[in-house]
Chain A
Amino acid sequence: MSASPIDRFTRSLEDLDVAVTRTDPAGFTETIETIVEPPCVGTPLPFADVSVPDVVDTEPTPRTLEAAQTTVTAASMGISAYGSVVLPSRPDGSEQVSLFTDLHVPVVRESDIVDSMAGAIDRLGPRLRDGESAIIATGPSATADMGALVRGAHGPKEVHVVILSTDTEGSQ
Chain B
Amino acid sequence: MSDAREATADRIRHLLRTEGAAVEENTLGFNQGRYDSVADLEDYEGLKHRAREIKADAIERLPELIDEVTARVEANGGTVYLASDAADANRYIREVASEAEADRLVKSKSMTSEELEVNEALEADGVDVVETDLGEWVLQLADEAPSHIVAPAIHKSREEIARLFNELFDPDEPLETAEELTMFAREKLGEQIREADVGMTGANFITADSGTIMLVTSEGNARKTAVVPDTHVAVAGVEKIVPSVEDLSPFIELIGRSGTGQDITSYISLLTPPVDSPVVDVDEPDVAFADRDDDRAFHLVLIDNGRMAMREDDDLRETLYCIRCSACANSCANFQSVGGHAFGGETYSGGIATGWEAGVHGYDSAATFNDLCTGCSRCVNQCPVGIDIPWINTVVRDRLNRGGDPSRFEFLYEELVPDEEPSGIDLQKRLFGNYGTLAKLGSATAPLSNAIASLSPVRSAMERLVGIDSRRELPSFERETLRGWFASRGGCQVSLADADREVVLYADVYTNHVAVDRGKAAVRVLEALDVHVTIPSVPESGRAPLSQGMVSTADRRASEVFAALAEPIDAGRDVVVIEPSDLAMFTREYERLLPAPSYERLSSNSYELFEYIYGLLENGADPDQLRSGGEAIAYHAHCQQRTLGLEVYTTAVLSELGYDVLESDVECCGMAGSFGYKRQYYELSMDVGDRLREQFERDPARNRRVVASGTSCVEQLSDLLTRESEHPVMVIDPAD
A residues near B (Cβ < 8 Å) are: 43, 59-63, 65-66, 82, 84, 89-93, 95-97, 99, 117-118, 121-122, 124-125, 128-129, 131-150, 152-156
Contacts and interface: CB of A to CB of B under 8 A. Distances in A.
A145 B138 contact: yes
Given A61-B288, A117-B252, A91 B264 contact: no
Contact of B277 (A96, A117, A155): A96
Nearest to A155: B220
A131 B296 CA distance: 14
Interface centre among B153, B157, B185, B281 (most CB of A within 10 A): B185
B223 A96 contact: yes
A65 B194 CA distance: 12
Please list the 3 inter-chain residue pairs (A to B) with the smallest Cβ-Cβ separation, ordered nearest first.
A147-B158, A155-B220, A93-B289
Nearest to A94: B277
B654 to A, nearest CB: 37
Contacts of B269: 133, 135
A90 B277 contact: yes
Nearest to A147: B158
Contacts of A149: 178
Contacts of A141: 218-220, 266-267
Contact of A61 (B218, B249, B275, B289): B289
B534 interface: no
A84 B218 CA distance: 13
Contacts of A89: 227, 271, 275-277
B272 A132 contact: yes
Given A91-B276, A145-B134, A154-B132, A96 B224 contact: yes
Interface centre among B157, B228, B249, B253 (most CB of A within 10 A): B249
B626 interface: no
Given A143-B218, A144-B260, A147-B181, 14 more contacts: A62-B286, A92-B289, A95-B223, A117-B249, A117-B253, A122-B249, A129-B209, A141-B266, A145-B133, A147-B158, A147-B161, A148-B179, A149-B178, A153-B218
Interface stretch (B240-248, B536-544, B564-572): B240-248
B223 A99 contact: yes
A124 B270 contact: yes
Contacts of B340: none
30 contacts: A59-B288, A61-B287, A63-B286, A84-B264, A89-B276, A92-B278, A96-B227, A96-B278, A117-B253, A121-B245, A121-B246, A121-B249, A124-B270, A128-B212, A128-B272, A131-B272, A133-B212, A134-B270, A137-B266, A138-B264, A138-B267, A139-B266, A141-B219, A142-B266, A145-B133, A152-B182, A153-B134, A153-B220, A154-B189, A154-B219
A146 B185 contact: yes
Contacts of A92: 278, 289-290
A118 B280 contact: no
Contacts of A84: 264, 268
A118 B264 CA distance: 14
B280 A96 contact: yes
Contacts of A134: 270
A92 B291 CA distance: 8
A150 B178 contact: yes
A69 to B, nearest CB: 15
B596 interface: no
Nearest to A90: B276
B451 interface: no
B734 interface: no
B614 to A, nearest CB: 37
Contacts of B153: 145
B266 A133 contact: no
Contact of B266 (A61, A91, A138): A138
